[in-house]
Amino acid sequence: MVNRIHPTAVLGPGVELGDGNVVGPYAVLAGPLVIGDGNWIGPHVTIGTPAEDRTGPHPVSWEDEPVGAGVRIGSGNRIREYVSVHQGTRRSTRLGDNGYYLRGSHVAHDCEIGDHVTLASNVVLGGHTAIWSRANLGMGAIVHQHVRIGPGAMVGMGSAVRREVGAFTVAVGNPARVTGLNVVGLTRLGLDERQIAALEPWLKGAGPIPPDGLLDRLPGGVSTLVQAWNDRKD
């Protein structure tokens, strides 16, 4: 399927597009940048612009050869108007598949974002943050550099996140504090009350990970996310 690129959009050197992408008016895409298939990139989006990092050089003109670690974006994302994504410094800034990036949200350099993630309007991610799959960040939330947001976690609107938010938990406030489990998110993934109750001690950091027999029966890819989060390294 052909890409549809508005005539006012600007694509610099080193930009690679898959198939079926839509690039809206006045969007600016700078390389090195690799984009998958079926993404919708709205008006005035900027992707691949230089990192806000004083430790490295900053380009002096648009015509310079692409530098930095660039950006890699998966497939099926909806990247709305005025979203900005900076290129990486030590590694590529990465966005997974089927994400929903609402108006004015910002992804800083070296961030890594999983699949099915939602960044609501005006969310700001500091450099080197990791947002795991199916996390949902509310309007105006701010995440400090090098912080991890666990899979299926929900961050309330206007929250300031300074430390790790666990898998399938809810965090709100300034500074953000965990207030409970994301029961709505787990239910939408197909878990019943018994399965949520079995996971609850581990999700709250008060018990071991459930046995394989229970994990294997969890729907919606939850078992894979739970195991990966349990095996993560600091």
Catalytic residue chosen out of the listed positions 48, 110, 166, 185: 110
Catalytic residue chosen out of the listed positions 48, 127, 166, 185: 127
116 and 132 in contact (C-beta within 8 Å)? no
Kind of pairing, strands 169-172 and 177-181? antiparallel
pLDDT of residue 210: 80
List the Cα angle 149/151/175 in 5-degree steps. 30
pLDDT over threshold 80, residue 60: no
Residues with Cβ within 8 Å of residue 38, at least 6 apart in sequence = 1, 18, 19, 20, 21, 75, 76
List the structure tokens of 103: 């108006």
Q: Could you tell me which of 149, 154, 103 has the C-alpha nearest to residue 126?
A: 149
Please report, for residues 135, 202, 219, 224, the alpha-carbon distance to residue 192 in angstroms, rounded to integers and kept in the order given.
20, 16, 10, 17
Residue 199 φ then ψ, to 5°: -80, -25
Rg (CA), the chain: 18
110 part of the active site: yes
pLDDT of residue 39: 99
Place of tokens 């787990």: 186
Catalytic residue chosen out of the listed positions 31, 48, 106, 109: 109
Tens-place pLDDT, residues 79-130: 999 999 999 999 999 999 999 999 999 999 999 999 999 999 999 999 999 9
146 part of the active site: no
Q: What is the secondary structure of 143-178 as a DSSP string?
A: E-TT-EE-TT-EE-TT-EE-S-B-TTEEEETTTTEE
Average pLDDT, rounded, for the chain: 93
Task: For residues 179 and 29, give the distance between their C-alpha atoms in angstroms, rounded to a whole number.
Answer: 39
152 part of the active site: no
9 and 29 in contact (C-beta within 8 Å)? yes
Domain layout of the chain by residue ranges: 183-230
Enter the pTM of the model: 0.94
